């Protein structure tokens, strides 16, 4: 039984590393049009989950971004960062940004 529990824990941890991504939703509730707005948000990853950052939309379309305040784990993987993107937002619109490992993002097709 103990070996089964250990195996399940390893599978759960492996799955979280393989799917290392942070999803951020930006929603407009005021009925206004926003154009060329610079937004930022923090991201955090567990060790070994993310070597290089990449930002995509919910549909997998790459997004131009800048990252600052990048801290790394001892293994060199990204621990935390602040991501900046410039975006437009229509009234009542919601946009989803996914921040993930660049290797994982290369498998995402728009």
User: From first to last of its 110 residues, what are the pLDDT tens digits of the chain?
Assistant: 443 333 333 333 333 333 456 888 999 999 999 999 999 999 999 998 889 999 999 999 999 999 999 999 999 999 999 999 999 999 999 999 999 887 755 554 44
Cα separation of 22 and 107, whole Å? Answer: 16
Q: Which residues pair with 81 in a beta bridge?
A: 43
- pLDDT at residue 109, as a whole number: 44
- Cβ-contact 60, 97 below 8 angstroms: no
Which of 66, 59, 61, 21 has its CA nearest to residue 39?
Answer: 66
pTM of structure: 0.72
**Per-residue b/e over 40-53, b at no fewer than 16 CB within 10 Å?**
eeebebeeebbeeb
């Amino acid at each position: 039984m103990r070996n089964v529990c250990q195996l399940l824990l390893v599978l759960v941890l492996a799955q979280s590393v393989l799917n290392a991504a942070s999803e951020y939703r930006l929603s407009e509730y005021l009925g206004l049009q926003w154009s060329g707005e610079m937004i930022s948000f923090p991201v955090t990853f567990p060790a070994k989950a993310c070597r290089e950052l990449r930002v995509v939309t919910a549909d997998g379309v790459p997004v131009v971004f800048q990252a600052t305040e990048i801290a790394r784990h001892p293994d060199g993987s990204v621990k935390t960062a602040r991501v900046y993107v410039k975006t437009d937002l229509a009234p009542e619109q919601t946009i989803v940004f996914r921040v993930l490992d660049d290797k994982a993002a290369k498998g995402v097709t728009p």
